[in-house]
Chains A and B, each alone.
Chain A
Amino acid sequence: MMNKTPEQINQDLLLPLNSTSWRYYVAVAALGSLVIMGLCAWGYQLDNGIGVSGLDRPVFWGVYITDFVFWIGISHAGTLISAILRVSNAKWRRPVTRCAEAITVFSLLIAATFPVIHLGRPWLFFWLIPYPSERGIWPQFRSPLLWDFFAINTYLIGSFSFLLLPSFPDFALVRDRSTGWRRRIYSIVSLGWRGTPKQWHRLEMAMRIMAVAIIPVAVSVHTIVSWDFAMAPVPGWHSTIFGPYFVAGAIFSGIAALIIAMAVLRKLLHLEEYLEPIHFDHLGKLLLAMSLIWFYFVFAESLTIWYGNEPSEMTVFWVTRSGQFSWLFWTMVICNVIIPAPILSVKRLRSKIGWTVVASIPVIVGMWLERFLIVVPSLSHGRLPYAHGGYRPSWVEIAITVGSFAAMPLLYLLFIKVVPIISIWELKLGQHEKPAEAPATVPGIAESVPASGR
């Protein structure tokens, strides 16, 4: 554990807010170009209709829904992991939490755009919102898609609050070290934070409550996303384990995204003394556990389907294991288990940051493929053989997907210019915090206080 003075910590962690290299602008420009490309593709789709995508009978859910489920999964990197680490009072969480919480908010924002993109007429999106319309018609509350609307918005509001509340003290710190317009802006966003004991108590209590509340919300979000599929009697979807299976996969991909983001930030912002190999080692252990849990779910689901031998289920089973989609399935298994599990099992490799990143990158690829393999083969091979069909994503879908993958680092780059990416006050707290069983004593009080003052 590094041992730095509060002033050194301030200087190190506020440096990215105060200085910008030319590389930063190049990266923002490159990523911004890809995002604009994605937006242009969406504009093309709006102009010409949903027919420019590869969606066609019988596959009406394709890459857009794959992207939606994938980004919802990535969002579990942050708030859920951060909340679990807070509730369990894991000391090593301090440099990690804000990186993770930011991933959640950004990936949820990206995920929430995909159902809208997927709508043929996205300008009618507001029909999902329960409002007293002149036709007297309310949304269908029995639909899992409406459950999504409520779950995702609750998670987004909770995650945004979870990210924002502990940022007030750091905004106040930036305020006190700024001048001019920056000082005015940070004065407003810090809400006049001063650091009285009352404010600290209330903040810590609020974070404890939020951590407890956000864990079941996070679990419910991905469970409900899984129910978008599992509530339908479609081969390969109608499964009771889909809820926990999706949650496990979400945490799995989320941890992988967090490791990659932390490694990049560590390198770019020179945070070597704050994001230490031990943090990657701990996250690597979590990633290994989730890799094995994910494989257990895949095995359990596969074995149950194979043993049941129900014809329409077996059609989807074989088309993914040895048919048209098999190369995607086995790539997924290689990316999610064959590559990461051995690397992360060896402590010597896991404790090296480069190797944890090498284990994490394939997981991102593998989990995207997993989402694709859930969505497409089941729709293209339904219960009626005469209705079987194919699906090939169009350039519009690919461009929008690439744009979403660029939007995530772009939002992150913009974020690190306005908010310290490591919670400064929590890091300082970790340096002076004593074990609970060792109460503080105040030595020398009798000697130093004059008699007249007592």
Chain B
Amino acid sequence: MRAIYGLYPDPDSAQRAVEVLQDAERALGFKEKQIVVLSGEPYEDHPFGQRDKKTIMPWIAAAGGLVGGLLGFWFISFTQKAYPLITGGMQIVTKWPDGIITYELTMLGAILTTVATLLITARIPDWRRHVFDPGVGEGKILIGVVNAPESCQDEIRRRLCSAGAGDVKEFAG
């Protein structure tokens, strides 16, 4: 992987850089998904920070809770019926006490599904080498293009500078 990127000191200049790259992508022969944005904190109040925002994570969590609860109740009732206990006519599958454990397993299902969904959709863990700069941790915002065509790299560099990059660098990994 190769990348050209600029480090921007504030979100406004970073937004400017993203827009410059989006405007030029067709002319320079790369696609929007090749534009990379990295920051040390979320910038949800800027358009560049709202990329890939759409998610169905809440629905997946709800489904996970439902599955956890149903599996929990099935498991408890199965074990209660599995042992031939003489109850003198009382319920073997006791709904109120079983409901408490079902409730806990519902919440556990939702929690575990949320964690799993985060890991899968955020693509972590991923220990491969990707474009990165330690300046991101110091408050800078990294905007760049990965695997850009050789012919337009100088133009990308120029545009990143024009948008306000303090420094334009290259990454090869």
Chain A residues in contact with chain B, CB under 8 A?
Answer: 5-7, 10, 130, 136-139, 141-142, 146-147, 150-151, 153-154, 157-158, 161, 165, 168-169, 172-173, 176-177, 187-188, 191-206, 209-210, 213-214, 216-217, 220, 224, 425-426, 428-429, 432-434, 436, 439-440, 442-445, 448-450, 453-454
Please pick, from B19, B58, B80, B132, the residue contacting A141 in the complex, using a CB distance under 8 A: B80
CB distance from B113 to the nearest CB of A (A): 9
CB distance from A417 to the nearest CB of B (A): 20
| Contact in complex: A161, B11 (CB < 8 Å) | no
Most chain A beta-carbon neighbours within 10 Å: one of B37, B79, B103, B114: B114
Q: List 29 A-B contacts (CB under 8 A).
A: A7-B138, A136-B83, A137-B83, A138-B82, A141-B97, A141-B101, A151-B100, A157-B108, A176-B136, A193-B124, A194-B132, A195-B39, A196-B52, A197-B37, A197-B39, A199-B124, A201-B55, A202-B117, A204-B42, A204-B44, A206-B115, A213-B61, A213-B110, A426-B41, A429-B42, A440-B12, A448-B162, A448-B164, A454-B24
| Contact in complex: B107, A440 (CB < 8 Å) | no
Task: Answer yes or no: B172 CB below 8 A from chain A CBs.
Answer: no
Q: Which residues of A contact B24 (CB under 8 A)?
A: 453-454
Task: Answer yes or no: B88 CB below 8 A from chain A CBs.
Answer: no
User: Considering the chains assembled together, what is the distance between the CA atoms of A329 and B94 in angstroms?
Assistant: 39
Contact (A169, B40) CB under 8 Å given A150-B104, A224-B100, A442-B12: yes
- A-B pairs with the 7 shortest C-beta distances? A6-B139, A200-B42, A138-B79, A191-B125, A198-B52, A191-B124, A206-B118
Most chain B beta-carbon neighbours within 10 Å: one of A161, A194, A436: A194
Q: Which residues of A contact B138 (CB under 8 A)?
A: 6-7, 10
Q: Which of B16-74 contact A (CB under 8 A)?
A: 16, 19-20, 23-24, 36-53, 55, 57-58, 61, 65
User: Considering the chains assembled together, what is the distance between the CA atoms of A161 and B130 in angstroms?
Assistant: 26
User: Considering the chains assembled together, what is the distance between the CA atoms of A433 and B100 in angstroms?
Assistant: 41
| Contact in complex: B41, A425 (CB < 8 Å) | yes
Q: Which of B106-142 contact A (CB under 8 A)?
A: 107-108, 110-112, 114-115, 117-119, 121-128, 130, 132, 134, 136-139
Q: Which residues of B contact A188 (CB under 8 A)?
A: 127
| Contact in complex: A198, B122 (CB < 8 Å) | yes
Range, interface on chain B: 35 or more
| Contact in complex: B100, A192 (CB < 8 Å) | no
Q: Which residues of A contact B57 (CB under 8 A)?
A: 202, 205-206, 209
User: Considering the chains assembled together, what is the distance between the CA atoms of A198 and B49 in angstroms?
Assistant: 8
CB distance from A322 to the nearest CB of B (A): 38
| Contact in complex: B20, A453 (CB < 8 Å) | yes
Q: Which residues of B contact A209 (CB under 8 A)?
A: 57-58, 61, 110, 114
User: Considering the chains assembled together, what is the distance between the CA atoms of A201 and B107 in angstroms?
Assistant: 22
CB distance from A219 to the nearest CB of B (A): 11
Contact (A217, B20) CB under 8 Å given A6-B138, A165-B118: no
Closest chain B residue to A187, Cβ basis: B127
| Contact in complex: B19, A176 (CB < 8 Å) | no
| Contact in complex: B61, A157 (CB < 8 Å) | no
| Contact in complex: A136, B82 (CB < 8 Å) | yes
| Contact in complex: A173, B110 (CB < 8 Å) | no
| Contact in complex: B15, A213 (CB < 8 Å) | no
| Contact in complex: B114, A206 (CB < 8 Å) | yes
Q: Which residues of A contact B139 (CB under 8 A)?
A: 5-7, 428
| Contact in complex: B58, A157 (CB < 8 Å) | no
Please pick, from A220, A428, A449, the residue contacting B103 in the complex, using a CB distance under 8 A: A220
Chain B residues in contact with chain A, CB under 8 A?
Answer: 11-12, 15-16, 19-20, 23-24, 36-53, 55, 57-58, 61, 65, 75-76, 79-80, 82-83, 94, 97-98, 100-101, 103-105, 107-108, 110-112, 114-115, 117-119, 121-128, 130, 132, 134, 136-139, 159, 162-164
User: Considering the chains assembled together, what is the distance between the CA atoms of A137 and B94 in angstroms?
Assistant: 17
Q: Which residues of B contact A203 (CB under 8 A)?
A: 42, 118, 122
User: Considering the chains assembled together, what is the distance between the CA atoms of A161 and B41 in angstroms?
Assistant: 20
- In the complex, besides A200-B39, A213-B114, 4 extra interface pairs with C-beta distance below 8 angstroms are A161-B115, A201-B55, A202-B122, A220-B100
User: Considering the chains assembled together, what is the distance between the CA atoms of A425 and B159 in angstroms?
Assistant: 29
Closest chain A residue to B10, Cβ basis: A432
User: Considering the chains assembled together, what is the distance between the CA atoms of A53 and B44 in angstroms?
Assistant: 57
Closest chain A residue to B28, Cβ basis: A453
Closest chain A residue to B142, Cβ basis: A195
Q: Which residues of A contact B61 (CB under 8 A)?
A: 209, 213
| Contact in complex: B79, A130 (CB < 8 Å) | yes
Closest chain B residue to A454, Cβ basis: B23
Closest chain B residue to A450, Cβ basis: B162
Q: Which residues of B contact A130 (CB under 8 A)?
A: 75, 79
CB distance from B172 to the nearest CB of A (A): 17
Contact (A198, B118) CB under 8 Å given A138-B79, A161-B111: no
CB distance from A101 to the nearest CB of B (A): 14
| Contact in complex: A440, B46 (CB < 8 Å) | yes
Q: Which residues of A contact B137 (CB under 8 A)?
A: 6, 10, 172-173, 176-177
Closest chain A residue to B23, Cβ basis: A454
Closest chain B residue to A217, Cβ basis: B107
| Contact in complex: B112, A157 (CB < 8 Å) | yes
Q: Which residues of B contact A168 (CB under 8 A)?
A: 124
User: Considering the chains assembled together, what is the distance between the CA atoms of A216 and B108 in angstroms?
Assistant: 11
User: Considering the chains assembled together, what is the distance between the CA atoms of A165 and B119 in angstroms?
Assistant: 10
Q: Which residues of A contact B51 (CB under 8 A)?
A: 197-198
Q: Which residues of B contact A454 (CB under 8 A)?
A: 23-24
Closest chain B residue to A210, Cβ basis: B114
